């Protein structure tokens, strides 16, 4: 019997606003689509959190015994600036600024994306299609939507008729928006004059003369609308109806709303059973933004070469930290929170490593079956990783109690405990075994440098500038750069 037949998984469905028992369309097979990155810059930590969240979902479904086809796209065309329908293509703009070909931009940042997710120990998706690899299919689905009366051509561009669709369906049901409110809050823009209604969105855009990413179509040389690629690739690889569609909370409207409309207009079917949305990251209590400098890239976090956190944290610890919050909650990155996670991570790994040395008894006073089910109960409750981690720390307490002989464990239960911890730590949470020493060394290095920073501050307060400068200079020779700021002194490793 497969585990999914024993465990009742519930998923929070964004479209109903409720947790629902998960019942896939095909009993033992799951189709899951997650919106991937637009590859015009280095992947940022907010993106990483979304993909780690859905890696957790992928891993748990596989652990339960489902055969999962996980599709995650690469957007390499059609995504205009500010998610609008005017302006430059994000990739084309980057190519112009760097004076390289657009596909060089795509290659560079796709490689970065894969490298970073590999460091976070994410499993690769089953299929990773690209927008440019499916231009023909996008043109064909536009023809279908036009033929069914839900789209129209205007001056070489094709737009989806939102009001026509809303007359039969409900445009806005995922995001909870009413079309009347959208109309009341919309100003007609000159650049949108080809549209019948301001709410309509582009399926195909005629390329301006300067637009270098363009393809021939029955309507014009142009490019597909951003929303269209996901409808095409999800239906091609998962069918007209599939189980799970995921992405960041910011994609609910308009991107996912448009996907629903396109899918229903083309096939007459509601495309997705369960909509899932991961929440955002903040940094030191503020929104992450490159423009304000309150931003940190994964590599800057791993190396410690940053002014925001000021200390290196391993991908393992960063992943563990992210999983200590539920995927639907906002999570704040800070040095203090990451440091606490690092200590907790090391406690877990030390406890796991010590299981083989636990004293064995003829019988157990530790209820392994009850504890194990409590771990499954956490994951069955909408992939509640923070509750699961709390249950894993309960196991740490029990392991310590067995060491002290206030609890007993049999040989059979000891083996089961080790296997269960392995399953939850490594197979489901996706943590890497064997990083404890590295993380401990990092923690020791950080503590040593912090001690030297305090000694240097005392020397400066005592006007002993020779000692203060000596500490700074000798650390710099070792590749450790000190930076004095209004909030104190931080360091980075060069």
375 is in an annotated binding site: no
416 is in an annotated binding site: no
Please give the sequence-ordered ranges of beta strands (E in DSSP) within 281-395, or none if there are none: 281-283, 286-287, 331-333
Query: What is the DSSP code string of 446-478?
Result: HHHHHHHHHHHHHHHHTT-HHHHHHHHHHHHHT
Distances (CA, A) of 428 to 59, 64, 209, 376: 5, 10, 50, 11
- 250, 38 Cβ separation under 8 angstroms: no
Q: What is the CA radius of gyration of the chain?
A: 26
35 is in an annotated binding site: yes
- DSSP H helices in 249-292: 257-267
Q: What is the DSSP letter of 84?
A: -
Nearest CA to 414 out of 350, 361, 373, 375 is that of 361
User: Cα(15)–Cα(34) distance, rounded to whole angstroms?
Assistant: 16
Nearest CA to 313 out of 416, 322, 209 is that of 322
290 is in an annotated binding site: yes
User: Cα(174)–Cα(482) distance, rounded to whole angstroms?
Assistant: 49
Reply yes or no: is the peptide bond before residue 254 cis, omega within 30 of 0.
Answer: yes
230 is in an annotated binding site: yes
Binding site members: 35, 230, 255, 259, 290
* Residues contributing to the annotated binding site for Zn(2+): 35, 230, 255, 259
Binding residues for ATP: 290
């Amino acid at each position: 019997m497969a585990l999914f037949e024993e465990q009742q998984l519930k998923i929070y469905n964004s479209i109903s606003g409720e947790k629902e028992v998960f019942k896939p369309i095909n009993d033992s097979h799951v189709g899951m689509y997650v919106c991937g990155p637009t590859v015009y810059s280095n992947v940022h930590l907010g993106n990483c959190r979304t993909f780690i969240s859905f890696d957790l979902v992928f891993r748990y479904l596989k652990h339960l015994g489902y055969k999962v086809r996980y599709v995650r796209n690469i957007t390499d065309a059609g995504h205009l600036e500010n998610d609008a329908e005017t302006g430059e293509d994000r990739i084309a703009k980057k190519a112009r600024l760097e004076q390289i070909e657009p596909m060089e931009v795509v290659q560079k940042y796709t490689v970065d994306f894969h490298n970073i997710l590999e460091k976070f120990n994410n499993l690769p998706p089953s299929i990773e299609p690209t927008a440019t690899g499916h231009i023909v299919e996008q043109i064909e689905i536009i023809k279908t939507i036009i033929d069914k009366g839900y789209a129209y051509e205007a001056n070489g561009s094709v737009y989806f008729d939102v009001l026509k669709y809303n007359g039969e369906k409900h445009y806005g049901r995922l995001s909870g928006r009413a079309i009347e409110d959208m109309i009341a809050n919309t100003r007609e823009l000159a650049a949108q004059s080809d549209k019948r209604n301001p709410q309509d969105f582009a399926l195909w855009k005629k390329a301006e003369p300067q637009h270098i990413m363009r393809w021939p179509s029955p309507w014009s040389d142009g490019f597909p609308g951003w929303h269209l690629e996901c409808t095409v690739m999800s239906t091609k690889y998962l069918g007209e109806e599939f189980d799970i569609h995921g992405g960041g909370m910011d994609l609910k409207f308009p991107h996912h709303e448009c996907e629903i409309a396109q899918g229903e207009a083309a096939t007459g079917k509601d495309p997705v059973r369960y909509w899932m949305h991961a929440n955002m990251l903040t940094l030191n209590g503020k929104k992450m933004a490159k423009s304000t400098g309150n931003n940190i890239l994964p590599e800057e976090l791993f190396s410690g070469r940053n002014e925001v956190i000021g200390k290196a944290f391993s991908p393992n610890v960063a992943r563990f930290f992210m999983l200590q919050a539920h995927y639907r909650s906002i999570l704040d990155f800070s040095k203090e929170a990451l440091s606490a996670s690092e200590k907790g991570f090391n406690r877990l790994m030390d406890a796991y490593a010590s299981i083989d040395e636990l004293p064995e008894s003829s019988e157990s006073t530790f209820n392994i079956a009850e504890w194990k089910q409590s771990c499954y109960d956490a994951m069955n409750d909408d992939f509640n990783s923070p509750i699961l981690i709390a249950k894993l720390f309960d196991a740490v307490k029990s392991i310590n109690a067995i060491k002290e002989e206030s609890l007993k464990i049999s040989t059979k239960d000891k083996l089961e405990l080790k296997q269960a911890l392995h399953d939850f730590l490594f197979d489901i949470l996706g943590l890497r075994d064997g990083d404890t020493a590295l993380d401990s060394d990092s923690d020791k290095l950080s503590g040593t440098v912090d001690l030297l920073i305090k000694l240097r501050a005392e020397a400066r307060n005592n006007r002993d500038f020779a000692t203060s400068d000596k500490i700074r200079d000798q650390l710099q020779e070792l590749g450790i750069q000190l930076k004095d700021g209004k909030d104190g002194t931080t360091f980075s490793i060069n």
